A and B are shown apart, each in its own frame.
Chain A
Amino acid sequence: MNAPVHAGLAATCLAVPLLLVGIGVNGAKAQLAANEASASSEPSVAIAAAADEGYCSADLKKVLRRVLQSCGLLSSGEVRGCQPLEAKSVATLAGSDFNALFLPLADRAGIIQFDKESAELDAGDLAMLDRTFADQRGASYFFVVSRSSPEGSEVYNRNLSQQRGEAVLSHLQATFKDADLNKEVGILWLGEEFAQLDQEFCSWQRSGSSEACQSQDLNRSAFVAWIDCRL
């Protein structure tokens, strides 16, 4: 055996994997360094965030912020719901504010219609409330605006409205056991002295009989809706 030929052949053949490793790994190292150098501080993929739908205009957010602050949802979360008197400053804007906040939500909102002088939720009410609350999507805030129709005294109606709002909240707390409920759900219980829903809302999703859509039917209610705005 010719040893130099043997060694020469060995070196030549061994050079193939060595060259491939050398060139390949060095190339990858250079690319790695280039990737690091070009890495932008901006994330290359989207970051998870709450929804902020197109209807969330600056004006609407201004109204929303005011209502949320009234209900304590933007502070420490210690306030649960809005007292009617506290809400009065909100409700004095009721016509425009209410419309600004809720009219864009025709497809998202539900109107729970209570029986006369009752704050009890029947099976139809519960089904609609569950369905509406479960359809949160990316929304950050859930409003319950409870009302009463003008029959009876103002104090009686205010209490009835409060009971209706609290019935909704109690059900949500019991059913969904949501740790974020206090940061998400705002209740406005409005008595007869505040803006009343008109029959424009008859076409909205409602519980109860579809025929029962006189003004008094609509206002024996709790209006529930998720708001898809981010503040």
Chain B
Amino acid sequence: MRPFTILFLVAAACGMFFAGMSTWDFIAHLDRDVHDVTCSFIPGLLASDTSASSGCHVTMMSPYSSVLRTTVWGGIPIALPGLAVFAFLMFRGLDLVFNRREDDKRATTFLLLATVLPALTSVVMGYLSMVELGAACKLCIGIYISSFVALAAAVGIRAQGVGEDMNGFGREFGLSFAEGTGFVLIPLLIYTIMSPDYSRFIGTCGTLPKPEDANGVLIGIGQQVSGKSAVEVFDPLCSACKGFEGRLNASGLATQVKRKAVLFPLDNSCNWMVSNTMHPGACMMSEAVLCADAKADEVIAWGFAHQEEILTAAKANPDSAKDMVVAAFPDLKECIGSPTVKSRLNKSLRYAVANQLPVLTPQLYVDNTKLCDADTDLGLDYALTRLLEAPVAAKENP
């Protein structure tokens, strides 16, 4: 066995390992529960990520971690075809060794072409990860490196081969391509068939008993177009709300709901329902959103963009959140902190009381039916699509 072949097999094995770990992490979430995510180049030797805000977690919960999300709960993890491709490369590499084809130009040429696929995919996924998500996942980096090493090794294998006979390459290519396609499609098919039926959970997580907004506390957010009405229980300084907003926009479903936010800051300076302030400055930011009214989206977007800075500053000095938001939106200065907006924020909290909402953000109620908390991340596209497709609830006669 030649050195480049050994290198190729090692790269394929590493690729299988990293893609397999990533697939395993993803599959663990199919129980709709919260799980740690492997966040190490040497899984098992270092502690798993429990922060829910690391690059590993951000990447897994991003819309790029899986495909066909509206068809399959959570979608099909992109790491699974990755695993299948590396398994195929391993097969082709072993085939070179056991069938003594290291000098067969047709086999080594196909191997080289086959390694271009994971390398190109790595470039695209790496770009999305760094540019779109601004996050890096260590297992993903392991996959990228394995892909490029496999490509380099395949170039070496082909260059070292002494054979020149390319007769019948078209047939070889066709058969091998079919094998590769089978390697990818069979696991995907099995995954899709085996996935649990999640449709039974849709619409079973509660409703809004008193959705009427008598005090005008609901604030229109998102792209207001036609579609079902939705109420989002929302804290502008909650990182889960920020993540949810990103996933909702990425799903393309945000334009299919007329969303209104009920502000529910997890900050005990205004919210008596929380004993500890989880998000210092959230009351002030909520007042800013209420004050902005028609421009609420701008304030929310600004708050999301500066979430960490605001939380850190407000933890040291509770008034700094107001200073920061007023610096960005000077026209809100008089309104923030005024009795009127404080009272309005209080009414927003009392909307939650009237509807006996869980003390939790974010929550989304579509046509008064709750999107289950377990469906707000990986299962969002699947569950929300079905909530949107459900018949409109009949209004009770007065």
What is the interface of chain A, defined by CB distance below 8 A to chain B?
A: 1-2, 5-6, 9-10, 12-14, 16-18, 20-22, 24-29, 31-32, 35, 43, 45-51, 130-131, 133-138, 175-180, 228
Contact = CB atoms under 8 A, between A and B. Distances in A.
A28 B27 contact: yes
Contacts of B88: 13
Contacts of B190: 18, 21-22
Nearest to A184: B350
A49 B273 contact: yes
B24 A24 contact: yes
Interface in B166-220: 179, 182-183, 186-187, 190-191, 194-196, 214-216
A49 B63 CA distance: 35
B292 interface: no
B352 interface: yes
B358 A28 contact: no
B91 A28 contact: no
Interface stretch (B156-164, B341-349, B390-398): B341-349
A180 B359 contact: no
Interface string B264-308: 000000101100000000000000000000000000000000000
B340 A14 contact: no
Contact of A134 (B24, B98, B346): B346
Contact of B196 (A20, A29, A47, A179): A29
A49 B350 CA distance: 8
Interface in B317-342: 338-340, 342
B384 interface: no
A17 B87 contact: yes
Nearest to A130: B339
Given A13-B91, A178-B215, A48 B358 contact: yes
A182 to B, nearest CB: 11
A183 to B, nearest CB: 11
Given A6-B99, A17-B83, A134 B196 contact: no
Contact of B273 (A28, A46, A131): A46
A24 B349 CA distance: 42
Contacts of A134: 338-340, 342-343, 346
A21 B187 contact: yes
Contacts of B91: 9-10, 12-14
A35 B32 contact: yes
Contacts of A12: 91
B138 interface: no
Contact of A31 (B33, B99, B101): B33
Given A14-B87, A16-B20, A138-B273, A46 B359 contact: yes
Contacts of B347: 178, 180
B98 A2 contact: yes
B358 A47 contact: yes
Given A28-B28, A50-B353, A180 B99 contact: no
B353 A32 contact: no
B355 interface: yes
B154 to A, nearest CB: 16
Nearest to A5: B98
A26 B31 CA distance: 10
A135 B342 contact: yes
14 contacts: A13-B94, A17-B183, A21-B191, A21-B194, A29-B30, A29-B31, A31-B33, A32-B31, A35-B32, A133-B339, A134-B338, A138-B272, A178-B215, A180-B347
A143 B356 CA distance: 25
Contacts of A49: 273, 353, 356
B359 A48 contact: yes
A49 B356 CA distance: 7
Given A6-B95, A25-B191, A28-B30, A136 B24 contact: no
A209 B51 CA distance: 55
| 3 smallest beta-carbon distances between A and B, as pairs | A134-B339, A138-B272, A28-B30
Given A28-B196, A178-B343, A137 B270 contact: yes
B360 interface: yes
Nearest to A31: B31
Contacts of B339: 130-131, 133-134, 175-176
A35 B16 CA distance: 31
B80 interface: yes
Contact of A20 (B23, B30, B353): B23
Contacts of B23: 17, 20-21, 24
B192 to A, nearest CB: 10
Contacts of A20: 20, 23-24, 27, 83
Interface centre among A18, A27, A46, A48 (most CB of B within 10 A): A48
Contacts of B95: 1, 5-6, 9
